[in-house]
């Protein structure tokens, strides 16, 4: 059996490798020739994915990458794992999904082994994308009918880069089909590689499931971020409070504050529902309030940096600040939507000179939101700065000994174990 995966990033690559390890041949498709060449040469460009896995798949001839989307004619199923960002007005940008649909549509009519092709969208989006927007593009550009001439389904990705206790194989896969036949075909496919597939009644239920998961996180993170600012004024350590509350064996789940939201899901996905809800004259007040609180956190952190510098009779303007961590989460190289970029921009706008250290991000690549930082390189951690700002809780920072440092350390993650005398939580 042979399938194609469109989009070889943090979702598509591990998914493709899982299918190869289950005995399925995978054709990886991407518009980035660098990724394609890396895979074909047996090298990983994602830090937490070992090159050995790619090399094994290449040696067994189970994995190949290409930029030629016409090659979907060779496969039984096409899994779309492309970005779904927001534009500057916080409106959904489905261009990557729709362009993928346009590219594959002319090749949907060629059945393999007498079987109709299956198209599965994995990119997070609003309810109705699969059975309306994507279906329309596929049918218009192929002359075929979904559910009759080809199968169509939605299965939200649940990738969590760097996680050790769960994997693509073990995380239950939610699956919604355009028709019952589409659902059966997609469950059959994913069951070859994953331990558990959870079918639901429609594509829209599956799309809403992923949004609900991420809205749950966004709202609860906003709650503890708000509590952090309140408890700070009361001279109460919010992390101590959360740890104590977490001892309750029921009715409570711990969430932790931070300098802002990061990653490919939580800062973006809730607003897909906000945008779609307006079509039904509905207003998502919880989501919007959570967004306001979470996006205000970098300003709060900057104010705490100002307080720390004040203790040394300094201002942000003209100060040299070392930021620790550009990745949005610990021990990975994933810097998508990282609040560190927002912090860097806000500090520099106020006249600071900002350097950074991150062993997982040795050089900043071009990002959609902050291309001006591309090319900056990680520097060593030294005491030669007016302030050190901990933005990401990498293990290397937790174990780093700051006790001899004279510069203040502002810790947004409560992760420093060996603190200097001038230590501030933010």
The pLDDT of residue 252: 97
The pLDDT of residue 160: 83
Give Cα 396 to chain centroid, integer Å.
Answer: 22
Go through the chain and tell me how many residues it has.
Answer: 426
Average pLDDT of every residue of the chain:
95
Task: Look at residue 89 and tell me whether its pLDDT is greater than 90.
Answer: no
Q: Which domains does the chain have, with CATH numbers?
A: 2-201 (3.40.50.720), 270-425 (3.40.50.720)
Task: Look at residue 177 and tell me whether its pLDDT is greater than 80.
Answer: yes
Task: Look at residue 166 and tell me whether its pLDDT is greater than 90.
Answer: no
Write the burial class of residue 291 (CB in 10 Å: 0-12 exposed, 13-18 middle, 19+ buried).
buried
pLDDT digit string, tens, across residues 28-45: 999 999 999 999 999 999
pLDDT digit string, tens, across residues 46-86: 988 999 999 999 999 999 999 999 999 999 999 999 999 98
Contact assessment for residue 139 and residue 285, using Cβ atoms and an 8 Å cutoff: no
The pLDDT of residue 264: 76
Task: Look at residue 93 and tell me whether its pLDDT is greater than 80.
Answer: yes
Task: Look at residue 384 and tell me whether its pLDDT is greater than 90.
Answer: yes
Among 373, 356, 299, smallest CA distance to 322 is for 356
Please list, in sequence order, all residues whose beta carbon lies within 8 angstroms of the beta carbon of residue 370, skipping any fewer than 6 positions away.
341, 344, 345
The pLDDT of residue 374: 95
The whole-angstrom separation of Cα 387 and Cα 126 is 42
The pLDDT of residue 247: 98
pLDDT band at 267 (very low <50, low <70, confident <90, very high): confident
* Eight-class DSSP state of 45: S
Give the pLDDT mean for 338-358: 97
Q: Which residue among 265, 387, 415, 419 is the active-site one?
A: 265
Give the pLDDT mean for 301-320: 97
pLDDT digit string, tens, across residues 273-296: 999 999 999 999 999 999 999 999
The pLDDT of residue 180: 98
Among 352, 343, 350, smallest CA distance to 319 is for 352
pLDDT band at 266 (very low <50, low <70, confident <90, very high): confident
pLDDT band at 162 (very low <50, low <70, confident <90, very high): confident
The whole-angstrom separation of Cα 87 and Cα 326 is 22
Q: What is the 3-state secondary structure (H, E, C) of 345-374?
A: HHHHHCCCEEEEECCCCCECCCCCCCHHHC
Calculate the dihedral angle through the C-alpha atoms of 331, 256, 294, 337, rounding to the nearest 10 degrees. 10
Task: Look at residue 397 and tell me whether its pLDDT is greater than 80.
Answer: yes
The pLDDT of residue 369: 84
The whole-angstrom separation of Cα 265 and Cα 217 is 10
Partnered with residue 28 across adjacent β-strands are 5, 65
Give the pLDDT mean for 200-225: 97
pLDDT band at 302 (very low <50, low <70, confident <90, very high): very high
Partnered with residue 154 across adjacent β-strands are 121, 176
Please list, in sequence order, all residues whose beta carbon lies within 8 angstroms of the beta carbon of residue 319, skipping any fewer than 6 positions away.
309, 351, 352, 353, 386, 387
The pLDDT of residue 407: 95
For helices 33-40 and 51-59, angle between their N-to-C axes, nearest 10 degrees? 70
C-alpha Rg value of the chain to the nearest Å: 23
Give the pLDDT mean for 162-172: 88
- Residue 265 annotated to the active site: yes
pLDDT digit string, tens, across residues 94-141: 999 999 999 999 999 988 888 999 999 999 999 999 999 999 999 999
Strands 151-154 and 173-177: antiparallel
Give the pLDDT mean for 5-17: 97
pLDDT digit string, tens, across residues 132-150: 999 999 999 999 999 999 9
For 48-83, give the DSSP string. TS-HHHHHHHHHTT-EEEES-GGGGGG-SEEEE---
The whole-angstrom separation of Cα 1 and Cα 185 is 14
User: Largest Cα–Cα distance in the chain?
Assistant: 76
Helices (H), 252-352: 270-278, 285-310, 339-349
The pLDDT of residue 111: 86
The pLDDT of residue 319: 98
For residue 154, how many other CB atoms are within 10 A of its CB?
A: 33
Give the pLDDT mean for 182-203: 98
The pLDDT of residue 371: 92
Strands 25-29 and 320-324: unpaired
Please list, in sequence order, all residues whose beta carbon lies within 8 angstroms of the beta carbon of residue 280, skipping any fewer than 6 positions away.
none
For residue 37, how many other CB atoms are within 10 A of its CB?
A: 13
């Amino acid at each position: 059996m042979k399938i194609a995966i469109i989009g070889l990033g943090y979702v598509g690559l591990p998914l493709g490798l899982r299918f190869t390890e289950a005995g399925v041949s995978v054709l990886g498709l991407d518009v980035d020739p660098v990724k394609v060449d890396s895979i074909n040469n047996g090298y990983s460009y994602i830090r937490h994915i070992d090159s050995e896995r790619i090399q094994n798949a290449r040696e067994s001839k189970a994995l190949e990458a290409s930029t030629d989307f016409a090659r979907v004619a060779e496969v039984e199923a096409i899994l779309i794992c492309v970005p779904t960002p927001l534009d500057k007005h916080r409106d959904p940008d489905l261009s990557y999904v729709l362009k993928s649909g346009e590219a594959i549509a002319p090749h949907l009519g060629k059945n393999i082994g007498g079987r109709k092709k299956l198209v599965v969208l994995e990119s997070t989006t609003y309810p109705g994308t699969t059975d309306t927007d994507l279906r329309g593009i596929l049918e218009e550009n192929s002359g075929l009918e979904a559910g009759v001439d080809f199968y169509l389904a939605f299965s939200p990705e649940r990738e969590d880069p760097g996680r050790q206790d769960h994997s693509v194989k073990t995380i239950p896969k939610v699956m919604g089909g355009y028709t019952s036949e589409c659902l059966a075909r997609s469950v059959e496919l994913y069951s070859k590689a994953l331990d558990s597939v959870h079918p639901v009644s429609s594509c829209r239920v599956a799309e809403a499931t992923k949004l609900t998961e991420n809205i749950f996180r966004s709202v609860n993170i906003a709650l503890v971020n708000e509590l952090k600012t309140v408890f700070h004024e009361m001279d109460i350590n919010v992390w101590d409070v959360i740890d104590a509350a977490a001892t309750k064996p029921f009715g409570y789940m711990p969430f932790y504050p931070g300098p802002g939201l990061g990653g490919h899901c939580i800062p973006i996905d809730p607003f897909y529902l906000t945008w779609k809800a307006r079509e039904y004259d509905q207003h998502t007040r919880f989501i919007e309030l959570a967004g306001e609180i979470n996006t205000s956190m970098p300003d709060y952190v900057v104010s705490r940096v100002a307080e720390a510098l004040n203790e040394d009779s300094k201002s942000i303007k003209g100060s040299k600040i070392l930021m620790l961590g550009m990745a949005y989460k610990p021990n990975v190289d994933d810097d998508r939507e990282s609040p560190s970029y927002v912090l860097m921009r806000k500090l520099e706008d106020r006249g600071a000179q900002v350097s950074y250290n991150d062993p997982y991000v040795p050089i900043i690549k071009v990002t959609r939101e902050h291309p001006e930082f591309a090319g900056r390189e990680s520097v060593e951690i030294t005491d030669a700065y007016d302030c050190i700002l901990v933005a990401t809780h990498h293990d290397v920072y937790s174990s780093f000994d700051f006790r001899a440092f004279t510069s203040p350390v502002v810790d947004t993650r409560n992760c420093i174990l060996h603190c200097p005398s001038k230590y501030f939580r933010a």
